[in-house]
Structure formats: C-alpha cells, structure tokens
Amino acid sequence: MATTPAPAETSTQPSVGDGGQLLGGDSSSKTLQAHLIRDGRTPATALHSPDIQRDPHQQAYIVNHLGEWIRVSAVEGRHYTALGFSVRNIDTFREGEWIHPLLSPGTGQAFQAQVEEIEKLEDEDLEKRDRRYAGVGS
C-alpha cells in the first residue's frame, strides 16, 4: 500500500531550535508555528493513508507496516487486521477489535467464470474435431 507524507501540520506552540532561537515565525508574529514532520518513525509522526488524507477528521487507527507507522481509517484498519497486522486505536493505543471481522475472499468463486469459459471452449473444440473426423472414415 503506497502512502505519501501528509502536508506538515502546524501548532501554535513555539519550538526552540539550536542556539535557543524560536522557529516557525518572524519576531513580529505573536503566533509561532512549529511544523510536525510526518515521517512514519513513531506513532506521533505516522504517515497518513490515502483515506485519512481525503478525510483527516474521521475515526483513525494506527498500524506499523514494514517499520513505518501509518494512520489508517476504519476500513483500512479492518483490511490490515485481515492480513494479520496489529491495528491499534490511535487514542488508547490498545489493539482494535472489530465487531464484524472481514471475511476472507474465497478463491473458488473468484475464478469460476474463467473455468466455465475454458470448459465451454474445450467442448466446442472437441465437437468441431468430432464432426471433421466423422465424415473422413465413411
């Protein structure tokens, strides 16, 4: 699942840089802004999934996927759970429990149409061969 970093979020809390200077605004601004960089290294700086990027105010969960923390929606969280990942509530950091877990897709029905099409083509091919050779031997 490809994720892109969300735009930097801003806060009204001042941030102190090297040497003690305040970052994020000029000296005349009363509101200083510190930028939160979403790099996925910690739950606090988790990357945003595409669903969360579209609607950042929806219920969110957090998952560690291949060493990167990702903030995901409920739907995405259910899919991660179905794949065996530990999906956690973003507020309590407890593992999420789904009332109705996702059903794993059955592979038998997934290819049923293709199997029927192949069988139909094989039957047609055999009928053509039978008709062609039926007239040859008499």
Provide the pLDDT for residue 20. Answer: 32
End-to-end CA distance of the chain: 64
Q: How many CB atoms lie within 10 A of CB 91?
A: 10
Residue 129 has pLDDT above 70, yes or no: yes
Judging by beta carbons within 10 Å of its beta carbon (0-12, 13-18, 19+), is residue 6 exposed, middle or buried? middle
- CA separation for the pair 56, 129 (Å, rounded): 63
Q: What number of CA atoms fall less than 13 Å from residue 103's CA on the CB side? A: 3
User: Which residues, 6 or more positions from 16, have their beta carbon under 8 angstroms from its beta carbon?
Assistant: 22, 23
The average pLDDT across 45-71 equals: 91
pLDDT in tens, 29-39: 344 445 678 88
Domain positions in the chain are 1-16+32-125
Q: Which residue has the higher pLDDT, 134 or 84?
A: 84
Banded pLDDT at 3 (limits 50, 70, 90) = low
Q: Which residue has the higher pLDDT, 64 or 105?
A: 64
Provide the pLDDT for residue 100. Answer: 65
Mean pLDDT of the chain: 73
